[in-house]
């Protein structure tokens, strides 16, 4: 996996399958998205690109004292490296970046800079200013630009939706074994308060 720390440093003339997200913890739901990403890239003869952010958007946009990361950025990179992805594009997240609309992001980043031919989206993924870009709006915009949008269904384990927020809740409640089951790997740290 090649790690790139700026949109401007992404290689030109690449045709790609892309997914976007914070990927905190790189849990089992995330891995379903990443598996679809790499399989689609292989099937279409394209490169696979994961776009993530540093710092986590919630750390920049919201002042929640109870928010914590499941994994550090370095731990997240290590977990993503094990998923056979071609490129990890790390976008520095700021208030200014958060003001970009989902339409601008699709046109200026995904199409112009990365050459996206397909986008893989998780079931609850939203992006762009005020989290306006959901599956419906992204699908419509991408369809008009010849980009396929692949939506992954919610991953359930024992009838529990596997989400970072659910895992954080389990960690905060010291339900570490349950959190690790949803993660599909051991916790790096255990939050103790």
What are 141-162's pLDDT values in tens digits?
888 888 999 988 888 888 888 8
Mean pLDDT of all residues belonging to the chain: 87
| Total of domains in the chain | 1
Q: Is 177 a domain residue?
A: no
Asked if the model's pLDDT at residue 7 lies above 70, the reply is: yes
Q: Is 188 a domain residue?
A: no
Asked if the model's pLDDT at residue 193 lies above 60, the reply is: no
Q: Is 2 a domain residue?
A: no
pLDDT recorded at residue 26: 93
Q: Is the pTM of this model over 0.75?
A: yes
- Average pLDDT for 79-97: 92
Asked if the model's pLDDT at residue 190 lies above 70, the reply is: no
Percent of the chain with pLDDT over 70: 96
pLDDT recorded at residue 63: 72
Q: Is 6 a domain residue?
A: no
CATH number reported for the structural domain that contains residue 113 in this entry? 3.40.50.620
Percent of the chain with pLDDT over 90: 48
Report the distance separating Cα 52 and Cα 91, nearest Å: 6
Q: Is 45 a domain residue?
A: yes
Q: CB under 8 Å to 143, separation ≥6 — which residues?
A: 149
28: domain range?
A: 14-154
- Average pLDDT for 68-73: 90
Report the distance separating Cα 62 and Cα 56, nearest Å: 10
Q: Is 182 a domain residue?
A: no
Q: Is 96 a domain residue?
A: yes
Q: Is 190 a domain residue?
A: no
Of residues 126 and 73, more confidence is placed in 73
């Amino acid at each position: 996996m090649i790690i790139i720390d700026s949109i401007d440093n992404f290689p030109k003339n690449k045709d790609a399958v892309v997914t976007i997200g914070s990927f905190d913890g790189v849990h089992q739901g995330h891995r379903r998205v990443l598996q679809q990403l790499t399989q689609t890239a292989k099937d279409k003869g394209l490169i696979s690109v994961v776009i993530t952010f540093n710092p986590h958007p919630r750390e920049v946009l919201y002042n929640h004292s109870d928010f914590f990361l499941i994994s550090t950025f370095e731990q997240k990179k290590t977990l993503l490296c094990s998923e056979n992805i071609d490129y990890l594009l790390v976008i520095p997240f700021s208030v200014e970046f958060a003001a970009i609309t989902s339409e601008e992001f699709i046109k200026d980043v995904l199409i112009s800079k990365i050459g996206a031919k397909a986008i893989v989206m998780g079931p609850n993924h939203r992006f762009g200013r005020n989290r306006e870009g959901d599956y419906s709006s992204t699908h419509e915009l991408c369809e008009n630009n010849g980009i396929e949008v692949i939506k992954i269904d919610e991953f359930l384990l024992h009838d529990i939706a596997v989400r970072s927020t659910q895992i954080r809740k389990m960690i905060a409640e010291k339900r570490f074994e349950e959190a690790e089951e949803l993660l599909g790997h051991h916790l790096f740290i255990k939050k103790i308060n």
